[in-house]
Amino acid sequence: MRSVLFTGSNRDGLRSMNRTVGSSDESHSRRLSTRQRLITSFLELLRETPDIPTAARVAKRAGCSRQSLFAHFSSLLDLSLAVAEYAFVQGSRQAVARYVDGDRQARLRSQVETRGRICEEWLPLWRALLHYQRRSDQLKVWVARVHDATLQRLELMYKPELSRLTDGERVDILIALGALTDFESWGGMRELHGLSIEEAQNVWIKAIDRMLPPTT
């Protein structure tokens, strides 16, 4: 077996290499941290006011400069795409299907409570995405993905009722249920009619229950 002789110069070179790698890792970590702060700051500002946040406000909230923001994102539209991706992942984690095999009332309550929480948290971002989607095909894709995920969840939760319908009837009911439980439907109940979260959920439960066909 060949032995390796570490001379002083070799050891100095290894130490220098380790410092370079460590510095690179720290720089990458700081970059990810700043990027995440910008995303969460954008979301926080959206929840505080209906106005689309400016780059200066987002940077200030994140504790960095406008130059730093645009070093991470080419534009506010680019930032909104990153926010949309982050929100989709978080929303998917929140939308865990519960009581899928439960009775009708258990499934109604579970689906509506989950949907209500998602709408309550993500409505401001949804409005921002709709604002920007006219300028971005990528955002249109994200909006479509959210619609599709909502319809898939409705179809899963109300499978016993929907399975009794023809294909055409099932599609019609799903479209109607999707419109009923849309973000703006929730926003209208909460903002225009002043309903509490529980009151808004009860409105949805009663309406969905009337729309679904009987299971017996």
49-88 pLDDT tens trace: 878 899 999 999 999 999 999 999 999 989 988 998 898 8
110 within 8 A of 99, measured Cβ to Cβ: yes
Whether residue 112 has pLDDT greater than 50 = yes
Q: Which domains does the chain have, with CATH numbers?
A: 9-73 (1.10.10), 77-216 (1.10.357)
Examine the pLDDT at 195 and tell me if it is beyond 80. Answer: yes
pLDDT at 23 over 60: no
Contact call for residues 163 and 86 (beta carbons, < 8 A):
no
Query: 2 falls in which pLDDT band (50, 70, 90)?
Result: very low
Which pLDDT does position 92 carry in this prediction? Answer: 80
Q: Which residues 6+ apart lie within 8 Å of 64 measured at CB? A: 34, 37, 38
Confidence at residue 33, expressed as pLDDT on a 0 to 100 scale? 84
**What's residue 143's pLDDT?**
87
**Cα–Cα dist 76/78, whole Å:** 5
What confidence score (pLDDT) does residue 51 get? Answer: 84
Q: Which of 118, 172, 125 lies closest to 150, judged by CA?
A: 118
Evaluate if residue 26 carries a pLDDT over 80: no
What value does the mean pLDDT of the chain take?
A: 87
The answer on pLDDT for 89 being more than 60 is: yes
Query: Average pLDDT of 164-175?
Result: 96
What local confidence, expressed as pLDDT, does residue 139 receive? 85
Is the pLDDT at 6 greater than 50? The verdict is: no
